[in-house]
Amino acid sequence: MALVYFVRSSKNMNDITTKQIVSFILKVLRPFSFHVTIVLLTALVWAVDISFSPYLIKIIIDRVSISAADNLFRDIATPAISYVLMLLLLECINRLYNYFFEIKMVPNLRKNIVESSIAILLDQDNSYYQNSFSGSFANKINDLTNYIPDIAQIMTDRIMGRALA
């Protein structure tokens, strides 16, 4: 993808490794440690919700089926309140996630990616520019700004969240 092509265009154009790609991604994510923590906390809360919601619903249904009519509220109050609080916590952490990831982190992350990419391009020899098209550089940087936030979101939302659940 564009990330591979762009990193390949850095100093050592022929030998690209996964370590270099991961290093570049971690380098541009490093200033956003608080934002990444919020994203990981969201994955953790989502995993807890996925694990405990069916259990709480089962407890509520079991208690409704065995409780007398006059003790019904007292029997289901604790699991029902726990379930509602879990939904409230999930909604609050989801709002924090949207604010910190989508609004605060992604635009600044894209800015850092462009700055890092331009710095790598400025370190190249003049012959490198003569043998390549300038439009391809712009496309590669544009692809990087689109792919790296997507990679970060996929890693935290889908892989990390599902692994915790």
User: What pLDDT, in 10s, does the model give residues 44-66?
Assistant: 888 889 889 999 999 999 999 88
| 157: three-class secondary structure by DSSP | helix
Tokens of 126: 């003049």
Report pLDDT digits (tens) over 128-160: 788 878 788 888 888 888 888 888 888 877 777
Inform me whether the pLDDT recorded for 8 exceeds 50: no
Please, which residues have CB within 8 angstroms of residue 72's CB and are 6 or more apart in sequence? 64
- The model's pTM: 0.66
Inform me whether the pLDDT recorded for 37 exceeds 50: yes
CB of 84 closer than 8 Å to CB of 53? no
Inform me whether the pLDDT recorded for 164 exceeds 80: no
Length of the chain: 165
Nearest alpha-carbon partner for 136 in 117, 116, 123: 117
Determine the pLDDT at residue 16: 66
Inform me whether the pLDDT recorded for 67 exceeds 50: yes
